Amino acid sequence: MTPLLKNLKKGDAIGIIAPASPVTDEEISPAVRIIEDEGYRVIKGNHLYDKKGYLAGTDLERLADLHDMFLNNDVKAVLCARGGYGTTRLLNNIDYGLIREHPKPLAGYSDITALLLSIYNMTGMYVWHGPMLRGITGRKRYLKTLLKQMSADGSMNIRLLKGNVLKEGHAKGRLMGGNLSMICALIGTPYLPSFEGSIFFIEERGEPLYRIDRMLTQLSLSGALKGVKGIISGNFQDCGEPDSIDALLLETFSYEAPVYRGFPAGHGNKNRPLPIGAKAEMDTESLIFRVDAFIDKV
């Protein structure tokens, strides 16, 4: 049974945590102001500004902030400060039962993909691949869009661009995916959900073409792509020529499934929130990408 998410209301508190790499107050304060200007309160994790080398504090400290936010009944949603590296170190010790019993909207991307997919797989709770707080300059509209989605019913109707259709078709399924390298990092673990019957979203940053090829091949060889119904490619920032990425996608997904490129989500200045686990539909003829409502408006 899918844990029921409730919509945000003005005046609600939003928790901020750093489950991966460290941040400073200066780096996230512009995003905090946006959240407050939109009418929400902010509760910061006790270890939000901790630093231990390339991690935002010890594993136990980062894990404590995650658990505390889900236990705190005053917190109605949880946003991540940044990605980087570190979330995979937490997966074996997360209290998934606690999260299932206290469901609330959770968002992030990049390294946070591992956290999102593991929580979805272990609890069934829908999660958001979407904006984080660090480096929000130039991407403010997407943080506001995320807050609006969380305060409504979660449904979306997005117009696709004809020129971005790589392969025609129609697909329905759960919206799944995230950062390509983090998805590959979960192969062989108990935390990678099944993508069978899904509309599969991927994005990446700073990986040369041969590594993109290797990761897509690894996914294919592992069987993780079996039964995928549709493919949406997001931003592949600094990953080589877009035409070469497109060619790899068409080679990997050579079976009957629609393929769409250039969706404005992932690394880069455009990062439209996507609810992982929600029922979705893509149609390259009507050029519509639709996500069904899944948040209880109370």
Residues annotated catalytic, as ranges: 110, 203, 267
- Cα–Cα distance between 34 and 175 in angstroms, integer? 28
Half-sphere exposure of 281 (CA within 13 A, CB side): 11
Q: Which two tokens stand for residue 104?
A: 């609330």
CA distances from 289 to 34, 174, 185, 270, 272 (A): 28, 12, 28, 17, 13
Q: Which residue, chain included where needed, has tokens 């029922």?
A: 279
Q: Report the first-to-last Cα separation within the chain, whole angstroms.
A: 20
For the chain, the C-alpha Rg in angstroms (whole number) is 18
Q: Name, in order, each residue with C-beta under 8 angstroms of 265's C-beta and a sequence gap of 6 or more.
A: 129, 130, 201, 203, 234, 235, 271, 272, 273, 274
